[in-house]
A and B are shown apart, each in its own frame.
Chain A
């Protein structure tokens, strides 16, 4: 295939060539970064929480009438009892929060009580001996809490646990040599002994500020006696919907001095997950839609402009055919022409894509784009260009030689 005649032709269509190349470059730059954002968001929202999500329900309960901490303690115990009697419920416990809830307490945890020198930040989950089996957490070392270890604390009360259970992620940060079990760590002025390690338990927060600590959680053996109580329920397989329908009425029947929102007072983990990652999913969808529209418009633009060029050059094509060029030659000509323009486009586009990524990194805490995305984008756009030009090029190859003898 002769490149030189193609270049000579393109010189006559400088503006059109430039516009197509520019369009390809911009499309590549945007699509690469959009794909990268999609990939990041998808990997973020598919992080495992460590919870047996298919069989866990959460009830958001607020006490009305300002019961005292002592009253709350007995109300909570009565509620947990009521919940366990409910058909379909396998286990239950009360806590301050649960993974992906968006609210809770975070502490610094370290090797000394000095708050300014923590090793890590950790989410604090109030738990009792039933927390691990209810959430379905996997204990990889040590033991669960004992019933006699569970303390009580009111809203601004001191939390000074003697025993804590941490996630493996946190254990490895505190003791990189893997010897965390039985060692002490500080979340208060008192040392706490790590009595158990669970495989994974995600923190309540999913935003980027907490991403670094997503798998650093600590279970403390306390019941929190405040107006807001979260009951976590484990249901028997297949009974999630049944329990969900009845649990609110059952609690109200036991005691009316409470508020459980009819709208979102009882939540399945699927709903909790969907809610927590709504903006991530939304961003991924938005970027996906924009990428598809961009690629479609660029493809359509190539079809449009190539068709026009083919129409304009019918006579020349006829002449070439008359001089002995095969259909194949004509087809090859237009494909090569497009490949040349696309190559220039993707080269410029790759630089633009990296530049755009750098700029986004500086402005918006975005990560550095992996080169694979640019390579993938280049391949996609080259294929897109060839695919788009195929129809007009085929039409060109069907121009009969006799066209040479006709005037326009």
Chain B
């Protein structure tokens, strides 16, 4: 498993090969349906700075809080396809370098990835304890959206395994599997 370090440069991202298994260290930021909608409505200037150029994690974690200290109980990926209609614009306006999620994203999103230099990293759905073990919360924004929908800023340490499932050329592992499927 190759280790990559966030924040990621365009060069870092373009060096990742389709099907490669990687782990990531450094800052990552969670956002789901509600955070995407609010970010696009407010724009990069009026949204949390952590979203710009970030590694975006499609995740609604379980976080416990005691005496103002947060700890991540469970944090696996959520279904990325729900953000299909929002992600291309997110990538273009916020300069997202990597999206971590599960299940893949539309060709429209893959086009934005090719254009801007961004990749889709597939996390293992449901492997929430394994992923939580390598995450610590550094801050939280838009907490009013609720635990699952808030923007959690986290520090990742060897966070993985992640499969490069859409590369910065816009090639998608899901698309090639879909074409080969026997019905």
The answer on A and B forming one complex is no
A binding-site residues for B, Cβ under 8 Å? none
Residues of B within 8 A of A (CB): none
